[in-house]
Structure 1
Amino acid sequence: MTLPRDQPDRSERGRVVEPVTSDPAAGGGDDGGDDRRVQRRRQIIEVAKGVFAEMGYHHASINEIIGRAQIARGTFYLYFSNKHKVFDAILDEALRELRGRITRIQVGDPAKGSPEAQLRQNLVRVLTYVFGDQPLTKLLLDHSQSPQSEVAERVGAFFAGISALLAASLEYGIAAGMVRPCNTRLVAAALLGAVRGVVFDVLEADAAPDIEAIADELLAFAKYGVFRA
C-alpha cells in the first residue's frame, strides 16, 4: 500500500534532489554490508517516526529527519525517495509487527491453555507493542483525522487492515464455537474502536500503563459487555 504521490522530494529551495546510488556507511556487498544497510534503514524509520509524531506529517521535513539521524541527504534518498515512502514504511512495519504478535488460538490442546488464556496472551503482546512504541501510537492516533487526504487515507488503510484481521479472527472464533454468531465486520469495528479509545485514554493520563489490568478489562468488556447478566 502506498500513498498516491510518488515524486522526488524537493528541498526548501524547490530544487529536485535525485537519489544517490551508494551509502558510504553501508559498506560493500558482503553480509556485514547488508546488515549495515538494514540498520541504516531502521535508523531512518525510527527517527522519522519520532519526527512525524512530534511535528505532524505536514510540518515534518526531510531536513529534520536527516538532521536528527545525522546522515547526509543523499543517504536518505538511497533508502527512500520522499517522506511519503518513509511514512508508508512505518505503517507497513507496524502492521507486520502486530500480525506477528497474534497467534492462532488452538482449541482442545491442553498444552496451549484455554482459548481465553491464549486470547489474553495475544492481547498482552499487542498492548506491550503499542504502549512500548509511543511515537508510533501517537502518529496513528493524531493522523487518523488528518486534513491531508492522502495521509488520512493511508492511516485509514492501516486501521482497515487491523479491522480485517479482527473480523477474520471473529469468523474463526465462530467456526470454533468460541464466539457467538455476529456481524463480524461491525463487531470488529467496535472492538477496534474500544481499543483505540483505551489507548488514547491511557496515553493522555501520561502514566506507565498496567498492561495486564488493561488486557483483563478489555477481555471482560468483550466477553460480558457492560450490563449485569
Structure 2
Amino acid sequence: MDIRLLAATDAPALWDFETAHRAYFEQWVQARSARFYTAEGFAEEMEASLQRQQQDQAFHYLMWEGQRLAGRINLTQVRRPYFHSAALGYRVAPDCGGRGLASQAVAAVLHQAFTTHGLQRIEAIARPENPASVRVLCKQGFVQFGHSRRSMELNGQWFDLLHFEAHRPQKGRRGGGTTPAFGTGLKRFFQPRTSHRLHTGSCMLPLPAKPSARQALGVPW
C-alpha cells in the first residue's frame, strides 16, 4: 500500500470512492451535504482541499493498492504557531477492512506529521462502539485522554466519543532514553493494552473477542 498526498488528478478515483461507499461511511461519521455528491459540489471541495494543503491548513492523504483507491486519511485543523497540532481521521473501503490497512496508514501519516509537516501533537476521536478503530489508534501510540458523553448526534441518536492524542517522539526525555519513532516497520511508541474496562488516560476499552472491522474515524472532509 502507498500513501500519497491528494492531487488534482485524483479527483475521478476519489469521486468513485466516496459515492460507492457513501451509505457505509454515514453509519459511523457525520454525513456530508447533498451538494458534495454533485459534480459542482465535489469540484468545489477538491479545490478547497488542495488550497488547504498549500496553505498549511490540512493534509489529505490517499491509500493506494496498486491503481485502486482503498481509503483516505487526513490531517485537518492544523494549528500554528504555539500548538503545532492537527486532527487525524480516516476511512477505509468496507471490503478492505481487516487487513491492517488502517494501522499502516495511521503509522505512515504520523511519521509524515512529525517529520515532513513538523507537527508536535495529533488528536483523534473514536466511538466506543468502534473497537477496531480504537485498536488501530492504540497500536500506533495514541493514548486516551478523555471521554465526552452524548457529544455527537448521528441519524437522530446521540453517541459518546473517546478522545486520543499522540505526541512527536522526543529525544533526551527526563529520566533518559529516547521515544521510538512511529511508522510501519519502526518500533512502536506504546504497546497496545488489553483490559475489560474503560480507563481515561490509557487505551483500555472493553473489546469483543472478534472485533468488527468498522474502518471509519471522523474525517472532516
Query: Quick check: TM above 0.5?
Result: no
TM-score using structure 2 length:
0.31
Q: Which one has the bigger helix percentage?
A: 1
**Which is higher, the Rg of structure 1 or of structure 2?**
1
